[in-house]
């Protein structure tokens, strides 16, 4: 059984979700019940639904961090559902959360597009989560999986000096005066700025209380407020700039960037509560995959200069899973293929937004992908699209 998820600050969540409704959407992306959805252009019938999970930290904003490759895949005729998640030591709770979000929109998408095969695509930590979902959650079927830069390491390997430096540091932060509340207050102030808003009086009071020990006496009162007239004047003065930044999509991107940073207090609290390794640990992940992995087709993408990649190890593991499956069901086959491409662990992230890339190509010509370091991201998209087309899902 997985441990309960970290307690969420409902007040922070409510303020954030209410204010985000004012933000301009990023490109053609649409937020639906905690997922980011990108339909194929011209509303054509999708070839398949790609359920995407990003890597550690950047998985909290997958439609921003992986925007280029996902929009390229959408242009190839795929319906994209990118589900954000907060990084946690408890992979099982994370998988539960991801599946819950996806299942909220699956019936609606089925009504709109009919029955389409679901392909799990994940990078790094997202690849590991896709493997766990396919192995341990039998009610979440996958027609195929594409696992990029797969790795399954212990915390001590994934985070150098974790026990010596980070664990004591996080415990110290959590046990200090106010715990992680100070960090959360700073993030809330940054969130208000990223939304083009003034901080509320309630937020100012929270900041005052959290930092009271280090502030002069006038600022240590329980309630702080900006006079209404002054608040209105400041809001009017910043409104044109805020509107322009919102219409340009900059506020949305800043806001999504804060989603990435927002995971830090959660991780600090998990470590302070005793988390020292992932759940399940690497050995149990291997055992679960060997015994229960059931995707009929799997593509592993490995990059030549990725020093933490473990695609070769998981390839052998999945071949063992196929052997075990065929002992139980002799007629079942599992296609497993590994491709090695030029690039490194960050290759799927190293590309500008698709609309910007198109404009740059108009200026720089055919050399733009090489000069701007996203030719390898194009290679990744081409490999995935080619493999899916040949699979005839």
CA dist., res. 35 & res. 226, Å (int): 36
What confidence tens digit (pLDDT) does each residue in 72-84 have?
999 999 999 999 9
Query: pLDDT digits over 128-187, tens only?
Result: 999 999 999 988 989 999 999 999 999 878 776 677 677 787 787 777 756 777 777 777
**Dihedral sign (CA 293, 299, 301, 302):** positive
The three-state secondary structure class of 117 is coil
pLDDT, tens only, 57-66: 999 999 999 9
- Which of the residue ranges 41-50, 125-134, 185-194 would you say has the lowest mean pLDDT? 185-194
Name the nearest CA neighbour of 281 among 153, 143, 144. 153
Helices (H) and strands (E) in the chain, counts: 17, 8
* Least trusted range by pLDDT, from 187-191, 284-288, 296-300, 311-315: 187-191
- Judge if pTM exceeds 0.85: no
Identify the bridge partners of residue 148 per DSSP, sorted by sequence position: 123, 301
Tell me which of 57 and 13 has the higher pLDDT. 57
Average pLDDT, the chain: 83
Distance CA 372, CA 374 (A): 6
Q: Please list, in sequence order, all residues whose beta carbon lies within 8 angstroms of the beta carbon of residue 253, skipping any fewer than 6 positions away.
A: 26, 64
- Domains located in the chain, CATH noted: 10-154+278-391 (3.40.50.1820), 162-272 (no CATH)
């Amino acid at each position: 059984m997985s441990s309960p998820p970290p307690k969420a600050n409902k007040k922070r969540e409510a303020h954030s979700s209410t204010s985000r409704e004012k933000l301009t959407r990023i490109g053609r992306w649409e937020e639906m019940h905690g997922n980011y959805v990108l339909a194929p252009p011209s509303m054509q019938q999708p070839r398949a639904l790609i359920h995407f999970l990003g890597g550690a930290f950047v998985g909290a904003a997958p439609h921003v961090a992986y925007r280029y490759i996902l929009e390229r895949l959408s242009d190839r005729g795929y319906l994209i559902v990118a589900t954000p998640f907060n990084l946690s030591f408890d992979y099982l709770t994370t998988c539960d959360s991801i599946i819950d979000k996806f299942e909220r929109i699956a019936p609606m998408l089925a009504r709109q597009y009919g029955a389409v095969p679901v392909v799990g695509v994940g990078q790094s930590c997202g690849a590991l989560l896709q493997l766990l979902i396919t192995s341990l959650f039998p009610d979440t079927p996958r027609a195929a999986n594409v696992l990029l830069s797969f790795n399954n390491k212990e915390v001590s390997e994934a985070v150098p000096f974790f026990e010596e430096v980070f664990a004591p540091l996080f415990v110290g932060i959590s046990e200090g005066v106010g715990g992680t509340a100070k960090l959360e207050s700073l993030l809330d102030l940054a969130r208000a700025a990223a939304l083009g808003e003034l901080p509320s009086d309630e937020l100012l009071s929270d900041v005052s209380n959290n930092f009271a020990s280090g502030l002069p006496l006038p600022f240590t009162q329980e309630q702080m407020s900006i006079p209404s007239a002054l608040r209105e004047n400041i809001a009017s003065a910043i409104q044109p700039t805020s509107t322009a930044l919102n219409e340009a999509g900059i506020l949305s991107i800043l806001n999504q960037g804060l989603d990435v940073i927002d995971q830090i207090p959660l991780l600090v609290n998990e470590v302070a509560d005793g988390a020292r390794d992932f759940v399940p640990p690497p050995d149990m992940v291997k055992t679960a995959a060997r015994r229960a992995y059931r995707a009929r087709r799997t593509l592993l993408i490995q990059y030549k200069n990725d020093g933490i990649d473990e695609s070769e190890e998981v390839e052998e593991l999945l071949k063992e899973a196929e052997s075990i499956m065929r002992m139980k069901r002799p007629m079942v086959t599992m296609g497993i293929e590994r491709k090695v491409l030029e690039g490194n662990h960050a290759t799927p992230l190293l590309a500008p937004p698709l609309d910007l890339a198109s404009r740059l190509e108009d200026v720089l010509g055919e050399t733009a992908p090489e000069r701007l370091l996203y030719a390898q991201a194009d290679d990744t998209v081409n490999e995935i699209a080619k493999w899916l087309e040949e699979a005839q899902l």
